[in-house]
Amino acid sequence: MLPVSRGNSPPTPVTYSPTVFAASINSWLLALAGIALAAALYWLSRRGPIKRWRRRLRTRRAERVWSREAVAVPRAVSSRVIVTLTASPGRMVALEQTVRTLLNQTCPPDEIHLNIPEVFRRTGERYEIPGWCSQVDPRVRLFRVEDIGPATKMVTTVERVGPAEDILLVIADDDTLYPQETIQALLEAHRDAPSTVHAVSGYDLGPQWESVLAKEARPVAVVEGWATFVAHRRHFGAGFAEHVHRVSSCRACFAHDDIVVSNWFALQGVDRRQIHHPMVSRRRFRQLGAQQDYGYLPGALHQESLPSERARQCASHLASLGLWRLPSPPVG
């Protein structure tokens, strides 16, 4: 505020009270502290313990949906259906609830293959097999296999199934519950476009290697295993296991199986597509609390680095071998 001049008298000097000045500083500090607290709470809600708590809360709220018995409907295809997945040692007990949701489907699978290593490669921890694995259902089959990272969930199953067999493989994750219509939606999509790999969730690679999630049914570069995708055995072609073993020496490829597998499909000339179904989508998975909180604990493999950095490193390694085929920014 400018000094006020009255006639020819000198302007009255402006004085600042120390008390007023201190109160002003305190107000600014409180505002900054509030902004910092809001930012911290937002971060925690997205990545930390609050996010895990929110996921548990959503699952509990949807308990009636998860406990409802599925009403079987005719399959859209005549192919045999095998669901395949793996788990880390710390998730073997919790894996039962995932398996039960995969059995409680409107189109239940013919078999569920659990590919479980003897030793967890990342930590050297040995697996203890809980009793439910042999008691839950005759369709659940346990296979002891070599640990080759997250791709363990599908590699040995592809090897076990003959390339000429009419079998659909549904890829699933150990930290997700699956709505009752999940397999039905995938089979219907396969019926309508049998030459394509169909996923509940997929994305393209943005200019900074970020994941650009598809918001409707459309072709995608990368299919995400956590939400399930379906592929016919012929889509994998020959040499899939050897390919995964070859590229897994790269840590990013070891961790980012979605990109490695999607790139393999591209090498085989197989398109990938995200489906649209009113009962099976990322949004519905989120509403039902399908992704479990233990998938976001600090030891989870996907938390080792930013997804964009893993994607860039994975692409760089595959490109150095002359194998990169996904649409992406320039590979440096």
pLDDT one-digit tens code per residue, 103-148: 999 999 999 999 999 999 989 999 999 999 999 999 999 999 999 9
What pLDDT, on the 0 to 100 scale, is given for residue 299? 57
Q: Which residue has the tokens 């039905």?
A: 184
CA–CA gap between residue 176 and residue 179 (Å, rounded):
10
38 CB-side CA count, 13 A: 6
The candidate with the shortest Cα–Cα distance to 261, out of 301, 221, 312, 295, is 221
Q: Which residue has the tokens 């995400």?
A: 224
For the chain, which residues score pLDDT lower than 70? Answer: 1-17, 20-21, 38-49, 51-53, 55-56, 294-304
Tell me how crowded residue 39 is: count the other CB atoms within 10 A of its CB: 10
Residues in the chain: 332
CA–CA gap between residue 291 and residue 53 (Å, rounded):
12
pLDDT one-digit tens code per residue, 13-60: 656 567 766 777 778 788 888 787 766 655 555 556 676 667 667 778
CA–CA gap between residue 16 and residue 302 (Å, rounded):
55
CA–CA gap between residue 225 and residue 272 (Å, rounded):
12
